[in-house]
Amino acid sequence: MLIKIHLVFEDEESGLPTVQEVAQLERRDLSPTTLVLTLSEAKTLLHRLQSHLVEQQVSVRQRQQLPCPSCQQPRRVKDNRHLVYRSLFGRLILRTLSIICHTCLLL
């Protein structure tokens, strides 16, 4: 049996779902070792789940920050970098944006 675990994000404004696959587990025979998650499966599952959650939250936050707070014009990406974030379920590499408004020159 193939078990697919998906995460569904629903856009607050449009209500449209985005589905991302988190993991696939394969089970053939039912036994005490295949009945439950192994520690390795659980760690991998939580790491992937957290990666998708964080990636989605950062993406939404970055989109929210694009309009300039002063003139409301869309700001442009000046620079992007990667940030390493260490968590209980593993290391995450996040893309951070430096944005600037070319009208008011606000960062």
Binding site residues, Zn ion, CB under 5 A = 68, 70-71, 101, 103-104
**Minimum distance, C-beta of residue 96 to Zn ion, in the bound complex (Å):** 20
Select 22 or 99, whichever has its Cβ closest to Zn ion.
99
Q: Is 52 helix (H, G, I), strand (E, B) or coil?
A: helix
User: Smallest gap, in angstroms, from Cβ of residue 103 to Zn ion?
Assistant: 4
Alpha carbon distances (Å) from 16 to 9, 23, 54: 8, 22, 19
Pick the closer one to Zn ion by CB: 68 or 99: 68
Using alpha carbons only, what angle is made at residue 98 by residues 94 and 104, rounded to the nearest 5 degrees?
155
Phi first, then psi, for residue 6 (nearest 5°) are -115, 155
Closer by beta carbon to Zn ion, 71 or else 83: 71
Instruction: Quote the least distance from Cβ 72 to Zn ion, whole Å.
Output: 7
